[in-house]
């Protein structure tokens, strides 16, 4: 993609001034970031369409009383994203790897529960080696539904 920016101080095309060059570089970086986000979201949507096999269903513990006396915060493991080459986000990161945790939170309050984020799709737990899309490997070791059932707060239908 080509982008042509002319200077406001000269009639000469391509003469950059002030922050115009930075704006052009930022625009190119933003477009790459947008493309990568769309690819990751597409992979996640595709993975969500698969059905988890019975072998990966988690056993739930006995139900705990749904009403609580005091506020409690639960933090859940809602997946992991391993990036094998961070260079996809910029040349400065070329060759670097990164592992990112996806966490979900449940606030239990006497007046009701609040779920903050739902993490990566539970269906990914059915893929033994996770889902790989380019430099991204997405895994979900425990389903959110199983973790919620374990504390006696099954998801609402």
Condensed to tens digits (0 to 9), the pLDDT of residues 91-142 reads 999 999 999 999 999 999 998 889 998 899 999 998 988 999 999 999 999 9
Between 50 and 67, whose confidence is greater? Answer: 67
Who's near 143: CB < 8 A, 6+ residues apart? 52, 56, 58, 122, 125
Distant-in-sequence, close-in-space partners of 146: CB < 8 Å, separation ≥ 6: 57, 58, 60
**Residue with token string 């260079």:** 87
Q: Mean pLDDT, to the nearest integer, of 13-33?
A: 56
Whole-structure pTM value: 0.54
Q: What is the pLDDT of residue 53?
A: 54
Q: Are 81 and 100 in contact (CB under 8 A)?
A: yes
DSSP symbols for 53-87 = PGGGPPPPPPPPPS--SS-EEEEEEEEEEEES-GG
Confidence class for position 75, pLDDT limits 50, 70, 90 = very high
């Amino acid at each position: 993609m080509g982008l042509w920016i002319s200077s406001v101080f000269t009639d000469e095309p391509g003469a950059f001034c002030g922050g115009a060059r930075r704006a052009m570089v930022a625009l190119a970086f933003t477009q790459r970031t947008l493309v990568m986000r769309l690819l990751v979201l597409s992979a996640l949507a595709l993975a969500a369409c698969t059905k988890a096999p019975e072998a990966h269903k988690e056993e739930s513990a006995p139900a705990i009383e749904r009403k609580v006396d005091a506020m409690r915060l639960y933090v859940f493991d809602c997946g992991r994203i391993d990036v094998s080459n961070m260079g996809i986000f910029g040349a400065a990161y070329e060759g670097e790897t990164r592992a990112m945790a996806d966490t979900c939170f449940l606030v239990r309050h006497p007046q009701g529960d609040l779920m903050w984020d739902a993490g990566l799709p539970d269906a990914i737990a059915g893929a033994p080696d996770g889902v790989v899309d380019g430099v991204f490997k997405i895994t979900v070791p425990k389903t959110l539904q199983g973790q919620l059932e374990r504390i006696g707060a099954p998801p609402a239908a």
